[in-house]
Structure 1
Amino acid sequence: MILLSLLLTSFVLTCAEVDSQDYCYAKGQSCSTETPRDEKFVLYDVNPPEGFNLRRDVYMRFAIMMSEAKKHERRQNWNLVLPPWFNLYHWKTADSNKPVPWSMFFDVESLKAFAPVVELFELFSKTKRKYLEIDRLYVLQNFPDAFENGVFDDKWEIDRNCDYSGSFWGYKNITVKETICVKYQGQISKLWELISLHSADKYVMFAHGEIPLHDYYGSKTFWDCRKSMKFNKNLINKAKKFIYEKLDCNENQCNTYISVHWRRQDFARARISEVPSLLGTAIQIDKAIKKYHSTIDYIFIASDAQNSELIQLEHQLKHLGYKVHFYIPSKLDLEQFSDGGIAIIDQIICSHAAYFIGTHESTFTFRIQEEREILGFKSSTTFNRLCPDTGKCSEPSKWTIVD
Structure 2
Amino acid sequence: MIVNLLLLFLALSTNANDEGYCDLKTKTCDNDFFKEKFILYDVNPPEGFNLRRDVYMRFAIMFAEAKKNKNEWKLVLPPWYKLYHWKSERKNYPIYWSKFFNVDSLKSFAPVVELHDIFTKTETNILNIDHLYVLQNFPDPFENGEFKDKWEIGGDCDYDGEFWGYSNITVTEIVCVKFQGRISNLWDLVAMHPSDKFIMFAHGEIPLHDYYGSKTFWDCRKSMKFNKDLIKTAKQFIADHLNCKEEKCASYISVHWRRQDFARLRRNDVPSVQGTVKQIDGFIKKHSPNTKNVFVASDGQNSELTQLESQLTSIGYKVHFFIPTPSQLNDFKDGGIAIIDQIICSHAAYFIGTYESTFTFRIQEEREILGFDSSTTFNRLCPDSGKCEKPSKWRVVS
Calculate the TM-score normalised by the size of structure 2. 0.95
CA distance in 2, matches of 1:242, 1:323: 15
Calculate the TM-score normalised by the size of structure 1. 0.94
Pick from 211, 227, 230 the counterpart of residue 235 of structure 1. Answer: 230
CA distance in 1, matches of 2:5, 2:69: 33
For residue 173 of structure 1, report the CA deviation from its aligned partner. Answer: 0.7
The aligned counterpart of 2:155 is: 160
The aligned counterpart of 1:288 is: 283
CA distance in 2, matches of 1:121, 1:352: 34
Which SS does the other structure have where 1:65 is aligned? helix
The aligned counterpart of 1:298 is: 293
Pick from 38, 43, 47 the counterpart of residue 44 of structure 2. Answer: 47
CA distance in 2, matches of 1:119, 1:80: 9
The within-5 A match list for 1:123-272 is 123-272=118-267
Contact 1:318–1:324 (CA<8 Å) still a contact in 2?
A: yes
Deviations 1:175-227 (A, max 9, x none): 00100000000000000000000011110100000000000000000000000
Deviations 1:78-127 (A, max 9, x none): 10000000111111114366100100000000000000000000011111
Moved more, 321-330 or 64-73: 64-73
Contact 2:255–2:345 (CA<8 Å) still a contact in 1?
A: yes
CA distance in 2, matches of 1:387, 1:79: 43
1:376 is the counterpart of 2:371: yes
CA distance in 1, matches of 2:363, 2:280: 18
Pick from 77, 88, 91 the counterpart of residue 86 of structure 2. Answer: 91
Which SS does the other structure have where 1:197 is aligned? coil
% identical aligned pairs? 67
Pick from 60, 64, 72 the counterpart of residue 61 of structure 2. Answer: 64
The aligned counterpart of 2:26 is: none
Contact 1:86–1:96 (CA<8 Å) still a contact in 2?
A: no
Which SS does the other structure have where 1:37 is aligned? helix
Pick from 22, 29, 42 the counterpart of residue 32 of structure 1. Answer: 22
The aligned counterpart of 1:399 is: 394
CA distance in 2, matches of 1:27, 1:50: 31
Which SS does the other structure have where 1:237 is aligned? helix
Moved more, 28-37 or 179-188: 28-37
For residue 160 of structure 1, report the CA deviation from its aligned partner. Answer: 2.5
Gaps of 5+ in 1: 1-15
Which SS does the other structure have where 2:76 is aligned? strand
For residue 24 of structure 1, report the CA deviation from its aligned partner. Answer: 4.8
Alpha-carbon distance change, 138 to 378 in structure 1, aligned in 2, over 3 angstroms: same
Gaps of 5+ in 2: 24-28
CA distance in 1, matches of 2:8, 2:90: 14
Root-mean-square deviation (CA, aligned residues, Å) is 1.3
Alpha-carbon distance change, 314 to 113 in structure 1, aligned in 2, over 3 angstroms: same
Contact 2:350–2:376 (CA<8 Å) still a contact in 1?
A: yes
Contact 2:12–2:120 (CA<8 Å) still a contact in 1?
A: no
Letter of the structure 2 residue corresponding to residue 240 of structure 1: K
Which SS does the other structure have where 1:287 is aligned? helix
Deviations 1:271-304 (A, max 9, x none): 0011001000000000010100000000000000
CA distance in 2, matches of 1:297, 1:25: 54
CA distance in 1, matches of 2:91, 2:259: 21
CA distance in 2, matches of 1:24, 1:316: 54
1:18 is the counterpart of 2:15: no
For residue 231 of structure 1, report the CA deviation from its aligned partner. Answer: 0.1
The aligned counterpart of 1:385 is: 380
Contact 2:94–2:164 (CA<8 Å) still a contact in 1?
A: yes
For residue 37 of structure 1, report the CA deviation from its aligned partner. Answer: 2.0
CA distance in 2, matches of 1:22, 1:166: 24
Pick from 292, 301, 304 the counterpart of residue 309 of structure 1. Answer: 304
